[in-house]
Chains A and B, each alone.
Chain A
Amino acid sequence: MTATTAPSTPDTAARAPTPQRRRTLGRPARAAIGFASGALLLFALAPSVLSDFRLSLLAKYLCLAMVAVGIGLAWGRGGLLTLGQGVFFGLGGYAMAMHMKLADAGPAQLPDFMALYGQLDELPWWWRPFASPWFALPATVLLPMLVAFLLGSLVFRRRVRGAYFAILSQALAAALVIFLIGQQGTTGGTNGLTDFQGFFGYDLDDPVNQRMVYFIVAGGLLLLLALARQLMHSRYGELLVAVRDGEERVRFLGHNPATVKLVAYVVAAGMAGLAGALFVPAVGIINPALIGVVPSIEFVVGVAVGGRAVLLGPVLGAVAVAWARTSLSEEFPAAWTYLQGLLFVVVVAFLPGGLAALPALLRRRRGEVGT
């Protein structure tokens, strides 16, 4: 290479390493502090100040937050507006619930609701494997991932994107709900699966065990946050953002955007599956109303409100919206739906970065006023 060209600055060597060094030292330290304070908050502070009732509510919110972490990855970083995460949440939830129902019933017995409806003499074949925890537990995560893989392979290769992808994912949620309601004898229909006695031998009515479930949920959330953080800061995370911002350009660089998107979609589905699986012991029920179109949209609303493109935004948004829903719908049951819609519109229109973008925005405002 002879003539190169462009203006080269003499102080390159002196200037370039400084921000680099600060970043490589600072980032992991900040992350460690963040995770430590998160763990302190969830494992020490919350259990000591909240009543059992409030703590179990928090467990429920944290399950929803786990779904949100996945949406933050797929939508915030990958641009995949998935309006059907309820499907994966539901698959994970039902897989866990089926196992718990079978464990409650005891070996070779029908779950109580099947006996009640009285249409079946023996367990349907697709229920049987869920009797084993070795099948059921991995299935809560792997089954949603498999479904996401099959759907994503079809959809992303055909370059279905944007609103079309959103509508398709939502249609899947509607289809699953219709299936579950239609198969009342084997799925519990609109009632879903509920009335669980135990969770791997522990009595779920015992407050001590409910606390244990809360700790498992909190640990699961921290685990997913660590996973999401690793992915976001990895080379894959950079490529995912590139696909979001310029899918065609990525193609011309020799990457296949379909594969990149598929990974994010499958990981998000696995996270939703785990969330669903932990939701069942934490809340004690899974039914079609919890996994259909409306809850799927509510997941996305929480993520949008919190801030979809940063790690903690979806978590805070999901918890905030779920908490607001519980407290406000107690007071004004009719108004909550409208309020939620309004919140979504306001955030999308005026604060596209979500609440997570608020500090930066305020700082900029103040800076402008100051100067």
Chain B
Amino acid sequence: MNGLEMRGLRVSFDGFVAVDGVDLTVAPGDIRFLIGPNGAGKTTLVDAVTGLVKATGSVLFGGRQLLGRPVHRIARLGVGRTFQTSSVFEGLSVLQNLDIAAGAGRGAWTMVRRRRTVPEVVSRALETIGLTDRRDALAGTLAHGHKQWLEIGMLLVQNVDLLLLDEPVAGMSHEERDATGALLASISAERTVVVIEHDMDFMRSFARTVTVLHAGRVLSEGTVAQVQADPRVQEVYLGAAA
């Protein structure tokens, strides 16, 4: 298991600084929540770590520098992410989605042949996310919550060490949120999890540590209780609400 270490991370778009010198350390096996008002730079931070946007500074994962590598190379180092909007392959079945996620290292000979059996990791992930009986359904026909679980399942079969989840429970029912939280807890036994979330109840129930971002900087960091007691955090959230 690996941890994540950012130093002086900075992202700017045409002069607008979205992430402004963030230092952030996530310990192996942690469930770290990133919270903050809209525009705080949470998603941009994840974009920078996964190679989607250019950034300066340093992001070390398992001792290796992530900045400057292309997206698919970072993914192969064991960094996986989801998006705010569900991005499963809607025209493919649940099984096909998972099989593709499991297949980054496959050789040419495996690729040009048909998939005859269900790989072990895939059937285990199907169990974990509870979609075994929907495995032949087209991903596009799944309910919203099931799509989000499929996304998480794809990260599991991809065998990432670090999961970066962008609002995984948005639009889910209460039961689905609890199920997702329990899923994250079990995943963190073997992997490091970073969650961007606006849902404060969800955060209170399942976060181990929390980082509050505001205007591209780290405003506060600690356990849920520490962060909630921080007057600066209260100010930012009250200010944003007013």
A4 / chain B contacts, CB cutoff of 8 Å: 127-130, 182-183, 186
Tell me whether B87 and A3 are in contact (CB under 8 A). no
- Give the distance in Å from the alpha carbon of A250 to the alpha carbon of B186 in the complex: 26
Q: Mark A218-245, 1 if CB is under 8 A from B, else 0.
A: 0000000000001101111011011001
The 8 Å CB contact of A12, one of B72, B92, B133, B149, is B133
B60 at the interface (CB under 8 A from A): no
Q: Mark B84-95, 1 if CB is under 8 A from A, else 0.
A: 000111111000
Tell me whether A254 and B115 are in contact (CB under 8 A). no
Interface of A is mostly: helix
The 8 Å CB contact of B110, one of A11, A235, A257, is A235
B75 at the interface (CB under 8 A from A): yes
Tell me whether A254 and B96 are in contact (CB under 8 A). no
Tell me whether B71 and A251 are in contact (CB under 8 A). yes
A2 / chain B contacts, CB cutoff of 8 Å: 185-186, 189
Name the segment of A14-22, A192-200, A271-279, A324-332 touching the other chain: A14-22
- Give the distance in Å from the alpha carbon of A212 to the alpha carbon of B112 in the complex: 32
Q: How far is the CB of B168 from chain A (nearest CB, A)?
A: 12
Q: Name B129's closest neighbour in chain A (CB-CB).
A: A6
Q: Taking each of B90, B97, B100, which has the highest tally of chain A beta carbons within 10 Å of its own beta carbon? A: B100
A119 at the interface (CB under 8 A from B): no
B136 / chain A contacts, CB cutoff of 8 Å: 16, 19-20
Q: How far is the CB of B74 from chain A (nearest CB, A)?
A: 9
Q: Name A9's closest neighbour in chain B (CB-CB).
A: B133
Tell me whether A3 and B185 are in contact (CB under 8 A). yes
B81 at the interface (CB under 8 A from A): yes
B1 / chain A contacts, CB cutoff of 8 Å: none
- Give the distance in Å from the alpha carbon of A72 to the alpha carbon of B100 in the complex: 22
A15 / chain B contacts, CB cutoff of 8 Å: 133
A1 at the interface (CB under 8 A from B): yes
The 8 Å CB contact of B158, one of A6, A230, A241, A254, is A254
If A5-B183, A8-B130 touch, whether A235 touches B99 (CB-CB below 8 Å) is yes
Q: Name A18's closest neighbour in chain B (CB-CB).
A: B136
A1 / chain B contacts, CB cutoff of 8 Å: 128, 186, 189
Q: Name B146's closest neighbour in chain A (CB-CB).
A: A6
Q: Name A242's closest neighbour in chain B (CB-CB).
A: B89
Q: Taking each of B50, B52, B89, B127, which has the highest tally of chain A beta carbons within 10 Å of its own beta carbon? A: B89
- Give the distance in Å from the alpha carbon of A166 to the alpha carbon of B235 in the complex: 53
Q: Name B128's closest neighbour in chain A (CB-CB).
A: A4
A37 at the interface (CB under 8 A from B): no
Tell me whether A234 and B111 are in contact (CB under 8 A). yes
Tell me whether A249 and B99 are in contact (CB under 8 A). no
Tell me whether B133 and A16 are in contact (CB under 8 A). yes
Tell me whether A251 and B132 are in contact (CB under 8 A). no
If A1-B186, A1-B189, A5-B182 touch, whether A250 touches B81 (CB-CB below 8 Å) is no
Tell me whether A256 and B113 are in contact (CB under 8 A). no
- Give the distance in Å from the alpha carbon of A2 to the alpha carbon of B186 in the complex: 6
Name the segment of B4-12, B32-40, B101-109, B223-231 touching the other chain: B101-109
A253 at the interface (CB under 8 A from B): yes
- Give the distance in Å from the alpha carbon of A295 to the alpha carbon of B98 in the complex: 40
A128 / chain B contacts, CB cutoff of 8 Å: none
If A6-B130, A8-B130, A242-B100 touch, whether A235 touches B114 (CB-CB below 8 Å) is yes
A161 at the interface (CB under 8 A from B): no
Tell me whether B89 and A7 are in contact (CB under 8 A). no
If A4-B182, A235-B99 touch, whether A255 touches B72 (CB-CB below 8 Å) is yes
A350 at the interface (CB under 8 A from B): no
Q: A6-B183, A8-B133, A241-B89 are in contact. List 20 more A-B contacts (CB 8 A).
A: A1-B128, A4-B186, A5-B180, A6-B129, A9-B132, A19-B136, A20-B136, A230-B114, A233-B114, A234-B113, A235-B100, A241-B92, A242-B100, A248-B52, A250-B100, A252-B72, A253-B100, A253-B154, A255-B103, A256-B72
B-contacting residues of A (Cβ < 8 Å)? 1-9, 11-12, 15-16, 19-20, 24, 230-231, 233-236, 238-239, 241-242, 245-246, 248-257
Interface pairs A-B: 8 shortest CB-CB? A6-B130, A254-B104, A5-B179, A254-B75, A3-B182, A236-B111, A251-B71, A254-B76
Some 17 contacts from A to B, beta carbons below 8 A apart, are: A2-B186, A4-B129, A5-B180, A6-B130, A6-B131, A6-B149, A234-B111, A234-B113, A235-B100, A235-B112, A239-B100, A241-B89, A246-B87, A249-B87, A252-B80, A253-B72, A256-B72
